[in-house]
Every structure is written in structure tokens, then in C-alpha cells.
Homo-oligomer: A and B are copies of this chain.
Amino acid sequence: MGSLHLDLKDCGQCPIRHRAVCSRCEPDELEVLEDIKYYRSYEAGQPILWAGDHMEFVASVVTGIATLSQTMEDGRTQMVGLLLPSDFIGRPGRETAAFDVVAVSDVTLCCFRRKPFEHLMTSTPHIGQRLLEMTLDELDSARDWMLVLGRKTAREKIASLLLIVARRDALLRKQLPSDGMIFDLPLTREAMSNYLGLTLETVSRQISALRKAEIIQLEGKRRVIVPDLEALISETGDDVDGGLIV
């Protein structure tokens, strides 16, 4: 299971760049792809895959948000990744899912049958190279997140998460994060707590604390305003440039 970003072109059917599997390859592959790809939809809250499930496809998120998570026997769960549009699900060479995948909002996947996709990978090296790059980026992000889980305080964890969402949101709008920026939290307090290794009560308390300290402002429960970006960054405990963009 991987959360990977494939560099795709527009296919006219999907709302995102989605024509060929790899933008560096010639569009000849387009015909092949039309044969092996199809779409699936999931409603908010619906499970997409359980760990151990057989997967006959790999897929790319077209719309919506999904989470990658693990659950212990007694119910403790830890989110291990966030899947956003254009992120990749599944891994070549493995038939079963390693983690649970759950739709947070309504989700559309563009699926590729696994066998033909793997064959395509061997015949077009760029795809494998791109996949390797993306996987290495994911690995770096996962390792960055280990620092957050292992060593940061609740307040620093919340600030780190807010900053990640803020940066992703800015990226989506093709802007730089800036003072006064406004964005929506895509996750419930519970989902945040599962991402951060906290309880939902602690998440709520720390968000309130950051609001009272005027590091952030809230409009409703989900919309966040960051009056001073530097102030938020300094709450994360990171050194100035720390590469925490997941």
C-alpha cells in the first residue's frame, strides 16, 4: 500500500489531470490504458479496503479524501497516511492491502487492473521511476511524521498538523502560504486525534488554546484563519525550514 502522486494528464473524464499514466511517456499508452482502467465511488465514512483484503487493482484518487490507518485489537487506531486527489493506492507486486483505507469525504477512484498495470510498468520504465520517486517522498514524509508522534507535545502536534493542511491547501490553490490565509480542516477532531496519537478531547482543548493565544482564529468548527504564519510555525517546535510538507 502506498500513498503516491502520479503525474497524470487530463483524460476529459476525470476532474483532474488523468490522461496517460506518466506524463514523461508518449501518449501511445493512452489506448492501452483505456482498456484497463475503470472508476469506483465511495460515500463519506465508507471503508474502501480493510488490511488483508485482496486487491485486484491499483488506483489513483480522483476526488475526495481518504485515510490510511491501522487498528489494534482493543480499538486503538493510528492513521498512517492521508490520501488526497492524485495520490496513489496499492502497490505493484502485492495482492493484499497492508492498511485500512477509509473514505473521509465522498471519494472517486480511478482504478487500474493490477496485472496489466504491472506489465505497463515493465514496458515503460518512466512509470517505475516516477513511482520510486513518489515512494521515496512518502518515506521521507513518514519519517518526518515519526518525529511528530514520538517527540512532540500535544500543542506542537496540533500546530504541525494545521501547518501541513495549510501548506497543502496553498499548494492546491497554487499560492504560497501567507499571513491571513484561510483554509478548511478536512478532518473531524477524532480523525485528527488518530493522526496525531492523541484523544479527541486533547485535540479540541489544544485548538481552543491556540485560538485563545491568538495563534489562529476559527470560523465555525472547521474553518481556520492564520493571522501570523511565523507564529504558527514557531508553535510546531521545528527549526525554521523543517520539511514537514506531507
Contacts and interface: CB of A to CB of B under 8 A. Distances in A.
A122 interface: yes
Interface stretch (A131-139, A177-185, A223-231): A131-139
Nearest to A140: B98
Contacts of A135: 132, 135-136, 139
Interface stretch (A37-45, A75-83, A201-209, A212-220): A75-83
A197 B151 CA distance: 6
Contacts of A68: 143
Contact of A70 (B131, B144, B196, B197): B144
Given A72-B238, A151-B76, A237-B74, A2 B145 contact: no
Interface in A1-37: 1-2
Interface residues of A, number: 46
Given A72-B238, A149-B150, A196-B150, A91 B143 contact: no
Greatest chain B CB density within 10 A among A93, A99, A146 is at A146
A151 B91 contact: no
Given A239-B72, A239-B73, A145 B147 contact: no
Contacts of A151: 72, 76-78, 197
Given A149-B149, A150-B197, A81 B128 contact: no
A202 to B, nearest CB: 13
Contacts of A78: 146-147, 150-151
Given A146-B78, A243-B98, A139 B70 contact: no
A47 interface: no
A125 interface: yes
A238 B92 CA distance: 26
24 contacts: A2-B139, A70-B144, A70-B147, A72-B151, A76-B151, A76-B237, A78-B151, A80-B143, A92-B132, A94-B136, A98-B140, A99-B143, A121-B129, A125-B125, A125-B128, A128-B128, A131-B132, A139-B139, A142-B143, A142-B146, A146-B146, A149-B150, A150-B196, A151-B197
Q: Which 3 A-B pairs have the closest CB atoms?
A: A150-B197, A80-B143, A149-B149
